[in-house]
């Protein structure tokens, strides 16, 4: 009898997990938690992040709560395939900043028996689906949506509201540029502009 979420230990099977949500929702912290558990289980883990993300550290994935794990910054998704040989688990942070080739890279890794754990923003500051995240969520076996807390009312937040007037889609920042808002407070703030 086959039981869901189990597999035969002699068969290596890969899959894709996506952790998504707004800024300050704990995506990176959850990614690091899953990857550290894999390391504790003595699995070979490689972690990647986009080279443009140098907010905290050039060679570490770092959460807003200062949880850290060693990583490799890469300029494009194709570099991940070159550097992820002979591993059990691949972690990818800030996936929304990668090129469209990331979907094929993740599928190829999973098809080769590698567990792929991805974290990224599902929506940009305007509330539109962000970059490569929608197709990644479509091909993933597991999708976890995490929420921040709305800084205006205390409800669950899933919008990353930009507090500056900058209009470009990719704008790295922290609380100086973004705040998490619920749907109601986000719409209210948008109408005030």
29, 58, 94, 166: which one is catalytic? Answer: 94
Cα dist from 185 to 20, 121, 153, 156, whole Å = 20, 19, 8, 11
Length of the chain: 193
Taking the C-alpha atoms of 105, 135, 15 and 85 in order, what is their torsion angle to the nearest 10 degrees? Answer: 10
Q: Using an 8 Å Cβ cutoff, are 148 and 23 in contact? A: yes
Task: Give me the half-sphere count of Cα atoms (radius 13 Å) on the Cβ side of residue 74.
Answer: 23
> Are residues 27 and 21 in contact, defined by beta-carbon separation less than 8 angstroms?
yes
Is 94 known to be catalytic? yes
**How many other C-beta atoms can be found within 10 angstroms of the C-beta atom of residue 131?**
22
Q: Which residues are catalytic?
A: 94
């Amino acid at each position: 009898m086959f039981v869901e979420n189990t597999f035969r230990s002699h068969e290596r099977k890969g899959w894709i997990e996506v952790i998504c949500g707004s800024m300050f929702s704990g995506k990176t912290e959850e990614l690091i938690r899953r990857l550290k558990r894999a390391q504790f289980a003595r699995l070979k883990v490689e972690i990647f992040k986009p080279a443009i993300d140098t907010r905290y550290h050039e060679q570490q994935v770092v959460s807003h709560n200062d949880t850290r794990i060693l990583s490799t910054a890469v300029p494009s998704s194709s570099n991940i395939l070159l550097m992820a040989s002979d591993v059990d688990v691949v972690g990818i942070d800030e996936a929304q900043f990668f090129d469209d080739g990331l979907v094929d890279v993740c599928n190829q890794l999973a098809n080769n028996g590698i567990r792929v754990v991805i974290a990224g923003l599902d929506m940009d500051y305007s509330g539109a689906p962000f970059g490569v995240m929608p197709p990644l969520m479509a091909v993933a076996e597991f999708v976890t949506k995490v929420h921040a807390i709305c800084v205006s009312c205390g409800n669950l937040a899933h919008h990353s509201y930009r507090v500056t007037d900058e209009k470009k889609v990719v704008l790295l920042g922290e609380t100086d540029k973004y705040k998490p808002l619920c749907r109601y407070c986000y719409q209210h703030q948008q109408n005030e502009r």
